[in-house]
Chain A
Amino acid sequence: MQNEQFHILVIDDNADILFMIKAMLEMKGYKITARDNPENIIVFMEALKPDLILMDMLLSGADGREVCKNFKVNKQLSNIPVIMISALPDAAGSCIESGADYFLGKPFEMKDLFHTVSTALATVNN
């Protein structure tokens, strides 16, 4: 499967970072949908059906972990892997607990992002 066939939803309330991640992943050829808020995210997701969700843990107006929990109880969405990113130290544990599959601390190396994304998508492939 080629990277172009993967559709990744990126959610971050910081527009700069959102654009940066989008740019990075596009460099690898992924198809990116970027959102700066998690409003109606379930409905949105059910329509979009992305292969991977990459989201910041702290979103304006919502806790990424709560949002993640909602995905994971939704049968249609629960299989979609989630990568949670955060600048908060020691957040990894709580993110994994909330159902996230991967955690990436901010700031991160671009190669680490690519590595995590490809690892996560590999599971989708299988």
Chain B
Amino acid sequence: MPDLNVRISLPFEQTFLSGSGEMRQLIREKNWTDAVLGQPAQWPQSLRTAVSILLGSKLPMFLWWGSELTCFYNDAYRPFLGQDGKHPQILGMPARDAWKEIWPVIKPLIDEVLKTGEAIWREDQLIPIFRNGTLEDVYWTFSYSAVMDETGNPGGVLVMCTDTTAIIKRKLLISTGETGDGTSLGTQLDFVNTFNESERKFRNTVMQAPVAIAVFRGPSFITETANKIFLEMVGKSESELIGKPLFNILPEVREAVEALMKGVFETGIIHTISEYLVPINRSGKIEATFFNASFESLKEADGRVSGIIIIASEVTHLVNAKYKLAESERHFKHMIMQSPIPMTILRGRELVIEIANIAMYKNIWRQDESEVLGKKILEVFPELEGQKFPALLLEVLDRGVPVRENESVAYVQRHDGLKKFYLDFEYAPLFDAVGTVSGVMVTVNDVTEKVESRLQLEVEEGRLRLAIESTRLATWDLNLLSGEIIHTGRLAEIFGYPADAVLSHQQMRRHIHPDDLHNVVEKAFSEALTSSIYHYEARVIRTDNSIHWIRTNGKVIYTDEQQPTRVIGTLLDITDDKVIQEEVSRLAAIVQSSADAIISKKLDGTISTWNKAAEKMFGYTADEIIGRPISILIPPERMAEEQNILENIGKGRGVYSLETKRIKKSGAEVDISVSISPIKDNNGKIIGASKIARDITRQKQIEIQIAASEERFRLLANSMAQLIWTSDINGKMTYFNQAVYEFSGLNFEQLQTEGWLYMLHPDDKEENAKRWQYAIDTGEDFIFEHRFKKQDGTYRWQLSRALPQKDAAGKIQIWVGTSTDINDIKENEQQKDFFISMASHELKTPITSIKGYVQILMAMYSKKGDDFLRQSLETVNKQIITLTTLIADLLDMSKIKSGSLQLNMESFCLNDLVKETVHEIQHIEPDCSIKFIPDEDVNVYADRGRIGQVLINFLTNATKYSPNCHEITVTSKLTPNEVVVAVADSGVGISKADQQKIFQRFYRVAGKDEKTFPGFGIGLFIAAEIIQRHDGNIGVESELGKGAVFHFSLPLNNYEKTNI
């Protein structure tokens, strides 16, 4: 196969701009991208010729071309524009903009030329132009002539001119110097001289021009002037040519140019030719020469055409070069010709058959070369009109993208009529030098035989199926008069009987499904009696009670009197078909309703099914895309991927959840996740592939967003001083923030494997592992204070918390943990605890002393009857007890906080403890009435001192918050599992809201008039802590103003209940 993308380059197209000269260079270098005329390569031939002549001329020339009258001018014209004026920017500029200052003057002239096609001649006309930095008055002698374009209408205006300012100025100088009427012989002479000078100048210019210029006069074209180049071109000397009719001297050119020149002479319209073949006899030999030339009329003042000026340049060598290039093209064509694959090249939008190889003529077209070559494809094969191929060819021309199809159906007119062909074909664009598609290379392969044999096979298969079906077919013959039915054995089998069973018509009817008997079978039967066609599909219940579908086809036979007498017919078990049919329609419904695109393709890559979701996802309707190659969905850079998929499919392997990109009809890309699996026929042969594609554009976007958000959180996590880590649901560490690495000096692998344990203080390892495992097992939060080893070897206290992150369904996804350095806090607390411990000891010494002396005094003076002294001492003693309690509470508080509150467990009788405590408080608060109602005696296993402390707290609260101290009742109550001690007072009571907080630290209930009662309010907190440490419960029941019942319970489970 030849390289389809070979570009046939035609560089000679632009040679009209090659060569030296300032303006040539400027045109070449100018960016024409946005110009109305477009790139030079795209310019029409007429413009190219005009520009080529213009650039080749030493005569000052200017050209306006096209709808905007784009400006061109040559090197000879350039000085007219002076310095700091229009040069070079007006090149390529619209005339209106380029000649703004004189537009009103020249526009009517241009319009006239364009409208009439007639040339205009003006002498010494004052047209000021902007040059040399100022608006200068300039006198011009000029001609405007029309240049025809391809359509034969004026496409532009060619200006040839000379600047006569100097002459006119001199003339004016002379005339202003005159007296009288302003004319004199002298001035006239002068004028004639200047005129002659101008004429001479013009002649000199012509003679020295590098292009061939000649002037011919009269209808017989007598040569008036011919420059050196012209003479060389025609191979004649000046004396041979001048003053003689052209065609007498050069008879060989008559045929080529006479008609042309006559046309110009008669109409006065300029004519240009390009690469025009003119045979010229040079040095005794006729040579084929090629010219670009313009033929222009010379007009007299009265407008009469008196002659012709020819400006020509020989382009023979260029044309020859072009042929050389054509040679390389021929080489390419030769390659095509040699190809065993049928190939042809079609040119242009006309689709002209430029070349075709033998294989094409022989195998595809079955035509002789002479019948088709050079003709339009639709002329040769008119039957292609209306088929898709012409449109596809034009599409290739327009879009420059190759089109391939396999097993495409084509109808071709043959001597024996229109025949159907199956073709594999490819249309490849051919580019010319400037990148436009100039033709299409067509490669065709006739696969009709292959396809037909395959189809034949399919037909054979169909026949086989039919044959098999016929063996399954039962026949019957029903006598309508007698009701007798004769049937084949197969019919009995269909109803579930042995083949030799004989069934009656009634018996058969009984097997019909009740739902179908009336609605289907009887209805069909009564219809059959009138229409004679008996047909239904219904369900039967077989002898084994299974339900089968049957199809009956029958025909009613009538007597001559039109009385129905017999029905004969067939009966077929169609259960399998029905099941398959239902299955198929169900699957089809699923496929159609699926939100995923479901596509199937044949092994050759053509699409065979296409569901709604696919239409939505890719923008093609099923009609548009079925039969087209799947490759149109695949970005070019992913073609290899498709190849790989096809290979896998070929081996019977699927491809699953491949994330890739595909192209929509709009050209936009779509991210999809695609699963592809082979489709097999009944014999297990792979016949295609099914694709399920899901649009994951949104998912991709979300992934990106998630990645960004994750990045943000990672950044956040890394910027934190806290240690942050995550683990999976099994407790395996998955992430550590920067602080962890900095703290531990370990890397991720070290941390993940054993580093975490390595970091832990040996004393904390066991408890840590236990708690972490518990959290993992139960999903409860992990909270623990432990010590981590820093990379310098020191340990720091850390408070670690890990919370499970759950998904919407409540399933744990990961654990997110933080560890906060609490080492300093710990140290502060230890110092505080030490301080409290010391302070309480120091406080106790003076209290011991005070208390002792008070008691001595009380003992000494209580008997002496001094009531005031006794009461005073009692008050002091009571306050000392309060003070002592406070100190003890403070110490307990610190112990609870540091976790060092120790219980000295022993077995004791709870009622005894209550009695003692009640007695003690009663002794201190003699005004109160404290009653104890005990239940059965029971021993508890507890810290006697601490439980006593709780009781003291309850009782002192009861006395404290019951100002009038009417009655306090203490009860003990046994239940099977626990013993409850309750202290009921008739005091101010506690609101529900306060009840929630009362066991918290430093909370105190406000008394009447918002006066608060004394005390730190930590007593209940300590009591609660003590009871909880005993696995008991503590609580309060109260209503505001109705007293309160404080109670605690201690469990009995582990302790023997003892009756005393």
A27 with B859: CB separation less than 8 A: yes
Q: Which of B860, B884, B902 contacts A90 (CB 8 A)?
A: B902
- Residues of B with C-beta under 8 A to A89: 837, 840-841, 888, 891
Kindly state whether residue A124 has any CB partner on chain B within 8 Å: no
Give the residues in chain B near A108, CB-CB below 8 Å. 848, 851-852
- Complex partner residue of A23 from B848, B851, B856, B902, CB under 8 angstroms: B856
Structural contact, A110 and B884, CB atoms closer than 8 A: no
B880 CB–A CB distance under 8 Å: yes
**In the complex, what residue of chain B is closest to A87 when comparing beta carbons?**
B844
Q: A27-B859, A89-B837, A90-B902 are in contact. Are A107 and B853 (CB under 8 A)?
A: no
CB atoms of A107 and B884 under 8 A apart? yes
> CB distance A110 to B852 under 8 Å?
yes
Return chain A residues, CB-CB under 8 Å to B166. Answer: none
Query: Is A21 an interface residue, CB under 8 A from the partner?
Result: yes
- Answer whether residue A119 sits at the interface, using C-beta atoms and an 8 A cutoff: no
Cross-chain contact A107 with B856 (CB below 8 angstroms): no
* Least CB distance, B902 to chain A, in whole angstroms: 7
Measured between C-beta atoms, what is the minimum distance from A118 to chain B in Å? 16
Q: Is the CB of A87 within 8 A of B848?
A: yes
Point out the residue from A17, A87, A88, A90 that lies within 8 Å of B852, measured CB to CB.
Answer: A17
Collect the chain A residues with CB atoms within 8 Å of residue B841's CB. Answer: 87-89
**B844 contacts which chain A residues (CB < 8 A)?**
87, 106-107
Query: Smallest distance from the beta carbon of A14 to chain B beta carbons, Å?
Result: 6
The listed residue with most A CB atoms (<10 A of its CB), out of B848, B853, B856, is B848
Do B902 and A110 touch across chains, with their CB atoms under 8 A apart?
A: no
B855 within 8 Å of A by Cβ? yes
Q: Does B176 contact A (CB under 8 A)?
A: no
**B975 at interface (Cβ–Cβ under 8 A)?**
no
Q: Is the CB of A107 within 8 A of B891?
A: no
Q: Digitize B836-868: 1 where CB-to-A-CB distance is under 8 Å, 0 elsewhere.
A: 010011001101110111011001100000000
**Contact status A107-B837, CB under 8 Å:** no
Are B848 and A17 interface neighbours, CB within 8 A? yes
Contact B849 A20 (CB under 8 A): yes
Of residues A24, A27, A89, A90, which shows the largest number of chain B Cβ atoms within 10 Å of its Cβ?
A89
Are B859 and A107 closer than 8 Å at their CB atoms? no
Q: Give the contacting residue for A14; candidates B837, B845, B853; CB below 8 A.
A: B845
C-alpha spacing A110/B860, complex, angstroms: 13
B residues in contact with A107, CB < 8 Å: 844, 847-848, 851-852, 880, 884
User: Do residues A109 and B849 form an inter-chain contact, with CB atoms below 8 A?
Assistant: no
Cβ distance B1008 to chain A, nearest Cβ, rounded Å:
33
Residue of B whose beta carbon sits closest to that of A24: B856
B853 CB contacts on chain A under 8 angstroms: 20
A27 and B847 CA atoms in complex are apart in Å by 21
Q: Mark A7-21, 1 if CB is under 8 A from B, else 0.
A: 000000010110011
Q: What residues of B have a CB within 8 angstroms of the CB of A14 in the complex?
A: 845, 849
Residues 1-54 (chain A) with a chain B CB within 8 angstroms: 14, 16-17, 20-21, 23-24, 27
Q: Note all chain A residues with C-beta closer than 8 A to B860.
A: 27
CA distance A110 to B848 in the complex (A): 10
A27 & B848 in contact (Cβ 8 Å cutoff):
no
Are B855 and A109 in contact, with the CB atoms below 8 A?
yes
* B887 smallest CB distance to A (angstroms): 9
Contact between A16 and B849, CB atoms less than 8 A apart: yes
Q: Closest residue of chain B to A92, judged by CB? A: B904
Chain B neighbourhood of A90, CB < 8 A: 902
Query: Are the CB atoms of B856 and A110 closer together than 8 Å?
Result: yes
Q: Kindly list chain B residues whose C-beta atoms are within 8 Å of the C-beta of A23.
A: 856
Residues of A within 8 A of B884 (CB): 107
B contact residues around A20 at 8 Å (CB): 849, 852-853, 856
Q: How far is the CA of A110 from the CA of B852 in the complex (A)?
A: 7
- A90 closest partner in B (C-beta): B902
Residues in A whose Cβ lies below 8 Å from that of B849: 14, 16-17, 20
Of the residues A17, A21, A27, A110, contact of B845 by C-beta under 8 Å:
A17
Tell me, in angstroms, the Cα distance from A6 to B851 when the chains sit together. Answer: 25
A24–B852 CB distance below 8 A: yes
Rounded to whole angstroms, the CA-CA distance of A109 and B877 in the bound complex is 10
Please name the residue on chain A nearest to B888 by beta carbon: A89
Question: Considering only CB atoms, which chain A residue lies closest to B841 in the complex?
Answer: A87
Q: Which residues of A contact B891 (CB under 8 A)?
A: 89
Q: How far is the CA of A108 from the CA of B852 in the complex (A)?
A: 8
Q: How far is the CB of B804 from chain A (nearest CB, A)?
A: 40
How far, in angstroms, from A23 to B851 measured CA to CA in the complex?
13
Least Cβ–Cβ distance between B885 and chain A, in angstroms = 11
CB-contacts of A63-118 with B (<8 A)? 87-90, 106-110
Per-position binary interface string of chain B over residues 817-849, scored 1 when its CB falls under 8 Å from any chain A CB and 0 otherwise: 000000000000000000001001100110111
B698 to chain A, nearest CB (A): 68
CB distance from A56 to the nearest CB of B (A): 10
How far, in whole Å, are A20 and B848 apart by their CA atoms in the complex?
9
Inter-chain CA distance A17–B852, complex, in Å, is 8
A106→B887 CA distance, assembly (Å): 12
Q: Name the distance in Å between B903's Cβ and chain A's nearest Cβ.
A: 12
CB-CB under 8 A from A17, the residues of chain B are: 845, 848-849, 852
Residues of B near A21 (CB, < 8 A) are: 852
Q: Mark B884-920, 1 if CB is under 8 A from A, else 0.
A: 1000100100000000001000000000000000000
What residue in chain A is nearest B843 (Cβ atoms)?
A: A87
B118–chain A nearest beta-carbon distance, Å: 131
Task: For the complex, give the distance between the alpha carbons of A21 and B853 in Å.
Answer: 9
Residue of A nearest to B842 (CB): A87
Chain A: which residue is nearest B880 at the CB level?
A: A107
Give every chain A residue within 8 A of B888 (Cβ-Cβ).
Answer: 89
Most B C-beta atoms less than 10 A away, residue of A16, A87, A109, A110 = A87
Which chain A residue has the least Cβ–Cβ distance from B846? A16
Which chain A residue has the least Cβ–Cβ distance from B853? Answer: A20
Residue contact A27 to B856, C-beta cutoff 8 Å: yes
- Select the residue from B852, B856, B859 with max chain A CB neighbours within 10 A: B852
Which residues of the other chain, A, contact B880 by a CB distance below 8 angstroms?
107
CA distance A90 to B880 in the complex (A): 21
Bound form: Cα–Cα A17–B853 in Å: 9
Residues of the A chain whose Cβ atoms lie less than 8 Å from the Cβ of B856: 20, 23-24, 27, 110
Residues of A near any B CB (own CB < 8 A):
14, 16-17, 20-21, 23-24, 27, 87-90, 106-110
* A-B complex: 9 closest residue pairs judged by Cβ atoms: A87-B844, A107-B848, A20-B852, A110-B855, A106-B848, A107-B851, A16-B849, A107-B847, A87-B841
13 contacts between A and B (CB under 8 A): A14-B845, A16-B849, A17-B845, A20-B849, A21-B852, A23-B856, A24-B855, A27-B856, A27-B859, A87-B840, A87-B848, A89-B840, A107-B884
Besides A17-B849, A88-B841, A106-B844, 7 more A-B contacts (Cβ < 8 Å) are A23-B856, A27-B856, A89-B837, A89-B888, A90-B902, A107-B848, A107-B880
Query: Which positions in B face A, CB cutoff 8 Å?
Result: 837, 840-841, 844-845, 847-849, 851-853, 855-856, 859-860, 880, 884, 888, 891, 902
